[in-house]
Structure 1
Amino acid sequence: MTDLSSIFGEAGPLSVAIPGFRPRAQQLEMAQCVARTIAENGVLVAEAGTGTGKTFAYLVPALLSGAKIIVSTGTKTLQDQLFLRDLPTVRDALKLPVSTALLKGRANYVCHYHLDRAQVDGRFASREEVAHVRTIARFARQTSSGDKSECVAVPEDSAAWSAVTSTRDNCLGQDCPHYKACFVLSARRAAMDADVVVVNHHLFFADVMLRDDGVGELLPACNAVIFDEAHQLPETASLFFGESVSTSQLIELARDTRDEALTAAKDFAPLPEAARAMEKAARDLRLAFREDSARLTIAQAEQSPDFRKALDGLGERLDALRLSIESQAERSEGLANCARRTQGLSACLALWREPEAGELVRWIEVFSQSCAMNATPLEIAGIFARQMQGHPRAWIFTSATLAVGHDFGHYCGELGLGRAATGLWGSPFDYGVQALLYAPQGMPDPNSLGYNEAVSDAAYPVIRAAGGRAFVLCTSLRAMRRVHELLAERYSRDGFESPLLLQGEGSRSELLERFRLLGNATLVASQSFWEGVDVPGEALSVVVIDKLPFAPPDDPVLAARIEHMRRAGRNPFMEYQLPRAVISMKQGAGRLIRSETDRGVLMICDPRLISRQYGKRVWRSLPPMRRTRERNEAVAFFQGVTGTVAFDG
């Protein structure tokens, strides 16, 4: 095995090739664990604090192993950073002849078949969308990858993209006339040939499910899988190990069926009629709910007098469409594909027409224009453990937030990682000097009516002392909007000139860019900014968190899992709700100190951090900052005053 200490040492290839590289004991220790895990086809769960350099800690031993590696990330941002920056940096520093590939989901690649259809008979809402399709057509003739991120002339959110890309449902596969020129297949072939493939968690699990369905393996067989941002895996896996059918899918199926019938079955009028009837039934199901946005249990859905009638009507119309389209499926590849989609969606919808769903939680998510019927497993540990069996390979799970204190039991239990080795490497940052944790005194109960006002009043003096430069992270959208409103009134009244930004006023990337450029802004945000956000330097010097981030107990999946655990004689709060809140809190707190020169105050307003016994578990899981309950000490932090009294809770 290669001597990793020389590679990560002061005179090693990383120090020579990378400006500013500094040896870190934590990084070397983690790299040695990763190397051992790959060599032994083991399982490693590794928490590495901010600044540890965990990316290099797994990339170096992975590349040196000579094994075929899949690296999966939670976000496309990290996926691109790994492929475009980190992988080439390590490969070049080590002078290794390693080939790499970036593999995305099919919605990221232009589809020749759907592009042709969009140009011939596409229906678009504006001339701008028509122009976008023409631009994409020119791009498709010139590109070798078909990756839409390279077509910068068309905005990523243009409606044209959905018309010219494929989905798993509407891809014709080998029946497609453009099969040999398919950009998706080309990307997959490149991945098959590469030594290291970078994907994201959604794509990884999509492949697992595709392989289960016997459609074929999307991702190449590999010797090691490395999950970065692994704290997101339980949530992502739950989505993919369940079932879902949305009214949007059904409406798209109806439209595709009508389009195919116009070209391949003009003489069979019952088919487009059946498609129109099913589309109307799908819209009627959405209209059964008055809410614009909601997550409902099946019992809550049944309270709508129109729900069961609409669901049964949709099932009948979908069955009628299935029979009609099956009679015509042999007339074209497109109709055959629509028939397969109809059969799959019909089987999925049948789950909702049964009185019992076994180990699945049935729930509905209502959106402004559609709704989705979901069936999510109560537990995924057994399913995920089975997916890890088979071909011997190493499995590595890493993130800055996996443990509760020093305990990985919650995370390993959720994913069924019974035989995993674990490692925890703290941040090299000097939190005692760089940061202060402030838990204000006199805060009311978080469920009281005036709590948002108390948060605003407590946070304002600290934000003002910092000259803005703050994130205010709320646990609900309602609280976010109210705290923003209160701060806006206070800023205006006092003439405090810190630009006040609100989540939703632009995309996340746009808001972050504005926040960085302004240098003295206050951003009030919710879940979207709790993780995966990096603002090093003075632009972010205060992070305010309004409440301990417990998931809402009326969430359909959470409520069902709590009841399931209670029936088994377990304590759902201590085993499930609290560990998840701790990990979320660590993510939110991690926004503050991003480099060895950052300084700032982390302010947690929730009095339960101090008053409740379980608050100590949250307290002890946070970075080892100096701690105070005195407002004057938090304000003085920005005046360069030191010697804050420690608070041990």
Structure 2
Amino acid sequence: MSLLAHASREALDAQGALAQHIAGFTPRPAQLHLVSAIADAFDQRDVLLAEAGTGTGKTFAYLVPVLLSGMKTIISTGTRALQDQLYHRDLPRVRAALGVGVETALLKGRANYLCRYRLQQARGEPRFASPEQVAQFQRIVAWSGRTRFGDMAEMEALPDDSPLLPMVTSTVDNCLGTECPFWSECFVVQARQRAQAANLVVVNHHLLLADLALKQEGFGEILPGAEAFIIDEAHQLPELASNFFGEGFGMRPWQELARDCVAESRLVGGAQAVLQAPVQQLDETLRQLRADMEGLPPRGTQWRALARPQVREGFDAVVSALQHLQGALDPLRDASPGLDACAARAREAAGRLARWLGDEAPVADFDALPEEHTPDNDVRWYEITPRGFRCQRTPLDVSGPLREHRENSRAAWVFTSATLAVDGDFEHIATRLGLRDPMTLLQPSPFDWNHQALCYLPGPLPDPASRGYGTALVAAIRPVLEASGGRAFVLFAAHRALREAAEALRDGPWPLFVQGEAPRATLLQRFRESGNGVLLGSASFREGVDVVGDALSVVVIDKLPFAAPDDPVYEARLDAIRREGGNPFRDEQLPQAVIALKQGVGRLIRSETDRGVLVLCDPRLQTRGYGRVFLDSLPPFALTHALEDVQAFFALAPAGADPAAELPVEAPSR
């Protein structure tokens, strides 16, 4: 055992530093196995792929060797919320317990930091959509005078999708760089400087991938110096990477370009008169194109959109409008840094649209990618939103660029998550991450699933594609909710099924919380406070949600979470597998669905004292051969087909009792 592994295990054992300094810390054998594997990967500068089941304590398991090793390390988490939790809660506790003085930094993408220049520009914005927006803007102005770090997360009352955010934050495109009059006060520059000086930097996958893909979010300078990378929630990385190694554009950023042109022109004599017509032309052509796209499927391939003549003509009109705007801006470039930046953005926008349409050979963004990743391997698609559209070019396979960046770093890499393996096998995720023969560790959840939980397979239910499935599902789960007294997540594969179930369950005796009727964070808070609520959600509630205790005692999953086959990127990926002689279902659809199901199941048991029932409604688990792959990939539940066992489970609730004892349930095969 290496010195790092030995020291890390000592810190996590019953007499170790964490047990002595962190209230409620409990040594776990699974955690010790994981920390040894991570320490070995650090020592050998190797690659580790580690599934750590719920309850392993993987955050402490990687923080301890990171802090003790002295290696410059980048930790990347799945979301900004997890990033904040790790940096502000977990990291300080472990660092204090170990008594080490490692310099740490939190770094996010530039769109998360207040931009003083754009805030100043927004003060001249003549229109806000509502009095509420005016009040929110005034709160941002007041906060800007007292914030130390400029992190927009400090504005807790500001929704993540607030239209004010793009007005007061910057992007790579609209940042003025050293030409900005507020450069010396820039929060992004300050955050980057802190990260460069730190030995441990906490980022999120979006920021990490943006810089790996050379999108330059202001983080690229730190990557070459890192000696170790920890990728938490690593199951998310391949899908996210496909967006960052591609290229996209949308209606809203181009409307922001038009608005910025107007704001910048106010500061330059005569500029408003020059830019008024081309700005108006761009705005009108964008709105007309969005109107022409009405009636198209919400998501589809480029060829499907361009097959409609008025849509093709609409895109051509936007190309002309962007070129017209660029032509008007070019003579004004020397008049101000802001107009110079707008001219560059207009040129880049026209180029991206031309490349998406296929009218121009792609160049810049793909120059840095390896030969095996060429634009020919990309799929071009669109997505319509209620107030706009987005177009994207997405690579079908990101394993090549991910592997190249990892190998060039010559660092240790640890990829970990509670859901990486499919029936005990890592091949699927390893292939997508571009890993060749990595070290692996499969550490099951240490919870006593066979006693703390029960898996109920109701039946008989009709085929999930049949018309009566929704009605039958509600009839099957209603008695479960009655037995549990609510306290349930009901997770749906489709929003339509969610809405239909919401109508059918509104007469129940439990508070009903329905996704879409309030922000996600608000729904979760109300659910926790209710004590007996029923929350109806979609895929976004399958992960990143932590409800410990009695408030959540049932998780219902309506269908096996196979990805929608009409998704243009997914469809193209399946076609590519088929062309290469593979089996799309076996190689892609099944493993992806298994990992997604494991994420949903992981919401149920979050501590040693939690107990609950998992309800898997999809009859294909019992009627199709692949059903066994799903069941064998789950924790070792006791299985039952009898509602009476569920009712008995909730009736047998004395503290310390074995809730599954004496239940005539079926033991899962392994």
Q: TM-score range by the shorter chain?
A: over 0.9
**CA shift at 1:319, angstroms?**
2.0
Q: How does 1:484-633 map to 2 (within 5 A)?
A: 484-489=502-507, 491=508, 497-633=509-645
Q: Distance in 2 between matches of 1:71 and 1:477?
A: 34
Cα distance in 2, alignment partners of residues 202 and 79 from structure 1: 11
Instruction: Give the aligned partner of residue 137 of structure 1.
Output: 141
1:221 to 221, 225, 231: 225
Q: Distance in 2 between matches of 1:127 and 1:510?
A: 22
Tell me which residue corresponds to 1:428. 446
2:195 counterpart of 1:191: yes
- Matching of residues 118-137 of structure 1 within 5 Å: 118-137=122-141
Q: CA RMSD in A?
A: 2.0
Query: Residue in 1 aligned with 2:376?
Result: 358
Provide the secondary structure at the position in 2 that maps to 1:72: strand
The amino acid across from 1:577 in the alignment is Q
Matched, 1:31 2:39: no
3-state SS of paired residue (2:265): helix
Aligned to 1:452: 470
Q: TM-score, normalised by structure 2?
A: 0.92
Cα distance in 2 between the residues matched to 1:332 and 1:472? 55
Show CA shifts across 1:506-530 (max 9, x none).
1111111111111111111111211
Quote the offset at 1:192 in angstroms: 0.9
Do 2:490 and 2:556's aligned partners in 1 also have CA atoms closer than 8 Å? yes
- Distance change >3 Å, CA 304–CA 180, structure 1 → 2: same
SS in 1 for 2:166: helix
1:101 to 77, 85, 105: 105
In the alignment, the residues of structure 2 paired with residue 299 and residue 328 of structure 1 have an alpha-carbon distance, to the nearest angstrom, of 37
Distance 1:65 1:117 in 2: 46
Contact 2:249–2:390, Cα closer than 8 Å, also in 1: yes
Match of 2:350 among 346, 354, 358: 346
Q: Distance in 2 between matches of 1:381 and 1:275?
A: 41
CA distance in 1, matches of 2:407, 2:311: 41
Structure 1 distance, partners of 2:217, 2:316, is 27
Cα distance in 2 for partners of 1:453, 1:237 equals: 39
Q: Is the 8 A contact 1:135 1:154 kept in 2?
A: no
**AA in 1 matched with 2:436:** G
The structure 2 residue matched to 1:180, chosen from 184, 196, 211, is: 184
Contact 2:45 2:413 in 1 (8 A): yes
Match in the other structure for 2:416: 398
- Pick one of 259, 265, 268 that aligns with 2:263: 259
* CA pair 551-371 structure 1, distance change in 2 beyond 3 A: same
1:137 and 1:558 mapped to 2: Cα distance? 43
Q: CA deviation at 1:555?
A: 0.7
1:166 corresponds to 2:199: no
Cα distance in 2 between the residues matched to 1:43 and 1:375: 30
1:69 aligns with 2:73: yes
**Could you tell me which of 402, 409, 426 is aligned with 1:408?**
426
Structure 2 distance, partners of 1:75, 1:293, is 29
Would you say the 8 A contact 1:188–1:219 is kept in 2? no
- 3-state SS, counterpart of residue 528 of structure 2: helix
CA displacement 1:312-349 (0-9 Å, x = unmatched): 11112212222332232122101110111112212211
> For the Cα contact (< 8 Å) 1:292–1:368, is it kept in 2?
no
Going from structure 1 to structure 2, the CA distance change for 1:60 and 1:625 (only over 3 Å counts) comes to same
CA deviation profile, 1:368-390 (whole Å, cap 9, x unmatched): 11000111001111121122132
Q: 1:156 to 1:565 in 2, by over 3 A?
A: closer
Deviation at 1:121, TM superposition (A): 4.3
Cα distance between partner residues in 2 of 1:479 and 1:155: 27
Report the residue type matching 1:45 in the other structure: L
Deviations 1:584-604 (A, max 9, x none): 000001111111111111110
- Residue matched to 2:488: 470
Q: Could you tell me whether the CA contact under 8 Å between 1:51 and 1:595 is conserved in 2?
A: yes
Instruction: State whether residues 437 and 604 of structure 1, in contact with CA within 8 Å, keep that contact through their aligned partners in structure 2.
Output: yes
Aligned AA (2:624): R
Deviations 1:285-330 (A, max 9, x none): 2111224971111232134342111111111221222233223212
Unaligned runs of 5+ in 1: 492-496
Give, in angstroms, the shift of residue 81 of structure 1: 1.2
1:645 aligns with 2:665: yes
Q: 1:190 to 1:293 in 2, by over 3 A?
A: farther
Residue 655 (structure 2) aligns with: none
Give per-residue Cα distances to partners, 1:152-193, cap 9 Å, x unaligned: 576665543332221222110111011111011111111111
- CA separation in 1, counterparts of 2:170 and 2:122? 12
What TM-score do you get using the length of structure 1 for normalisation?
A: 0.95
- 1:136 maps to amino acid: I
**What displacement does 1:615 show?**
1.1
Contact in 2 for aligned 1:210/1:218 (Cα 8 Å): no
Which residue, out of 395, 405, 412, partners 1:377?
395
- Counterpart of 1:183 in structure 2: which amino acid? F
Measure the CA separation in 2 of the matches of 1:218 and 1:183: 17
CA contact (8 A) 1:124 1:130 kept: yes
Three-state SS of the structure 2 residue aligned to 1:244 is strand
Check 1:155–1:558 CA distance in 2 against 1; reply closer, same or farther (3 A cut). Answer: closer
Unaligned runs of 5+ in 2: 362-374, 653-659
| Partner AA of 2:305 in structure 1 | A
Stretch deviating more after TM superposition (23-32 or 294-303): 294-303
Does structure 2 conserve the Cα–Cα contact (< 8 Å) formed by 1:207 and 1:218?
no
1:153–1:75 CA distance, 2 compared to 1 (3 A): closer
Task: Give per-residue Cα distances to partners, 1:94-119, cap 9 Å, x unaligned.
Answer: 10011111112222221111111122
Contact map agreement 1:470 1:542 (CA 8 A) in 2: yes
Tell which deviates more after alignment, 551-560 or 416-425: 416-425
Structure-2 separation of matches of 1:447 and 1:159: 38
Amino acid of the structure 2 residue aligned with 1:450: G
Q: Structure 1, residues 16-69: CA drift from partner, whole Å, max 9, x if none?
A: 111222221111111011111112221111100000000011110111110111
Counterpart residue number, 2:372: none
- Structure 2: distance between partners of 1:128 and 1:218: 40
Aligned partners of 2:539 and 2:103: how far apart in 1?
37
> Is 2:9 the partner of 1:5?
yes
**Identical aligned pairs, as a percentage?**
47
CA positional deviation for 1:220: 7.0
Change in 2 beyond 3 A, CA 1:567/1:151: closer
In the aligned structure 1, how far is the partner of 2:301 from the partner of 2:159? Answer: 37
Distance of aligned partners of 1:314 and 1:120 in 2 relative to their CA distance in 1, 3 Å threshold: closer
Correspondence for 2:154: 150
Structure 1 residues 528 and 214: CA distance shift in structure 2, 3 A: closer
Q: Contact (CA 8 Å) 1:261, 1:272: kept in 2 or not? A: no
Q: What corresponds to 1:494 in structure 2?
A: none
